Amino acid sequence: MGARELDNEIVKLGGIPSESGTRSGAIHRAWTNMKAAVTGGDEAAILPECERGEDVAKAAYEKALGEDLPPDVATIVRRQYEGVRENHDLIRNLRDAA
C-alpha cells in the first residue's frame, strides 16, 4: 500500500514508477520464508530476521527524509516512516518477549 501511494506521487510529478520492489527486498522475503520453513515457524527464530528487514526499511526512509522532497511527498514519506518505526518496535518487542 505504501509503495502504491508513492508510485501515485511519482506519476503526478511526471515520473515513471519502478515495476517491482528492490532486489534486496525480494531476497530478504525469500530468506525469511525459507527460514520459517526450516524452523517450523518458530517465532523466536524468525523475529530477528523480520526486525532486520524493518531496520533496512527504517534506514531507507531516514535517507529519503534527508533529501529535498516536495512538501506533499515529504508528508507521505514522514507518515509512512512513522508506520515503519511502529512496525519495527512491535517486532522488536515480540522478539524480546519470545
- The pLDDT of 19-44, averaged and rounded, is 59
* Fold classified for 1-14+43-98: Ferritin (1.20.1260)
Between CA 74 and CA 68 the distance in angstroms is: 8
The four Cα atoms 57, 62, 67, 72 give a dihedral, to 10 degrees, of 80
pLDDT, position 9 = 83
Asked if 42 and 93 touch (Cβ cutoff 8 Å), the reply is: no
Higher pLDDT pick, 36 / 97:
97
Q: pLDDT by residue (tens digit) across 39-58? A: 666 667 778 878 888 888 89
